């Protein structure tokens, strides 16, 4: 499955398929997301995140207007609502594997931000050590957004997506950014497989989706990390010969799940 084939049905899980997305103004905001989730329990409601961000200023912003804007973009990127499976599953694993947090944030943002999602081909096609420019990222979304973007907006999206891919570990450098191997961990593998599952992939095909490719990990290692994730209870994993069975009884246990 590629990002171009995400089904309409995925919207009910929290995916966003149309629109410009938050990257016309912000990056994936890993630092802000980390601070907000650290200040709120796993069972927090949307109003609790609003209180933490605006009233308690856990994001350490100087003005109320900036606090509200930051909260708005975090909601666009992550929803901050456990009624959506995409965010709820992220929240379930967020505190369990700190090393995986940047990749978890990226994967969730990809599910919800069309502009970021449209730059994925540049990252997947770039060889290790090759320069990846903000101009190349901006060019990758031309003609895919459903409307015309001016050069100023395109340039900003290019810079913001370049920063996001750097935060996730796919790019390295400040002004001159090059492709590097992003770190992969059991929690991020479980989440990538889960997002592929919500988009309709099953079994061994889950290890061949764009979600899984972004983990920058060989298939054998993906299977090893999926097994480790199953030991944490994040997924159900069975692999024998050429047959792979993957289930998500834990992440889907609250009743909002994908149809078999």
Tell me the pLDDT tens digit for each residue of 180-236.
Answer: 999 999 999 999 999 999 999 999 999 999 999 999 999 999 999 999 999 999 999
Tell whether 256 is covered by a domain.
no
Query: Which residue matches tokens 């289930």?
Result: 247
Distance from C-alpha of 151 to C-alpha of 145, rounded to nearest angstrom: 14
Domain count along the chain: 2
According to the model, what pLDDT value does residue 5 have?
87
Share in percent of the chain as helix, strand, coil (round to 5)? 55, 5, 40
Question: In sequence order, what E strands does the chain have?
Answer: 171-172, 178-179, 236-240, 243-247
Residues 1 and 18 in one domain: yes
Which of 137, 161, 182 marks a domain boundary? 182
CA angle 62, 65, 66 (to 5 degrees): 50
Residue from 167, 191, 13, 184 nearest 93 by CA: 191
Tell whether 126 is covered by a domain.
yes
Distance from C-alpha of 202 to C-alpha of 246, rounded to nearest angstrom: 7
Helix (H) or strand (E) holding 136: helix 134-139
According to the model, what pLDDT value does residue 257 have?
41
According to the model, what pLDDT value does residue 147 have?
55
Range of the domain at 22: 1-182
Distance from C-alpha of 78 to C-alpha of 21, rounded to nearest angstrom: 11
% of the chain with per-residue pLDDT over 90: 85
Residues of the chain with pLDDT under 50: 146, 255-260
């Amino acid at each position: 499955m590629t990002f171009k084939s995400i089904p309409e049905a995925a919207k009910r899980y929290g995916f966003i398929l149309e629109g410009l997305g938050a990257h016309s103004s912000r990056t994936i905001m890993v630092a802000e997301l980390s601070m907000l989730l650290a200040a709120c329990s796993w069972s927090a409601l949307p109003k609790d995140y609003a209180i933490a961000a605006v009233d308690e200023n856990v994001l350490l912003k100087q003005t109320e207007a900036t606090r509200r804007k930051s909260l708005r973009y975090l909601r666009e990127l992550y929803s901050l609502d456990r009624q959506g499976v995409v965010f709820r599953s992220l929240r379930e694993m967020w505190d369990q594997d700190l090393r995986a947090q940047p990749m978890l944030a990226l994967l969730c943002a990809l599910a919800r931000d069309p502009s970021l999602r449209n730059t994925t081909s540049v990252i997947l096609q770039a060889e290790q050590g090759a320069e990846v420019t903000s101009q190349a990222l901006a060019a990758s979304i031309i003609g895919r957004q459903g409307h015309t973007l001016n050069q100023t907006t395109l340039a900003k999206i290019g810079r913001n997506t370049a920063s996001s891919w750097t935060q996730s570990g796919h790019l390295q450098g400040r002004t001159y950014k090059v492709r590097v191997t992003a770190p992969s961990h059991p929690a991020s593998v479980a989440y990538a497989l889960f997002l592929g599952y919500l988009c309709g992939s099953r079994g061994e095909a889950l290890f061949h989706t764009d979600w899984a490719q972004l983990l920058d990990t060989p298939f054998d290692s993906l299977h090893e990390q999926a097994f480790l994730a199953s030991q944490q209870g994040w997924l159900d994993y069975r692999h024998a010969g050429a047959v792979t069975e993957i289930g998500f009884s834990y992440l889907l246990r609250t009743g909002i799940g994908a149809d078999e």
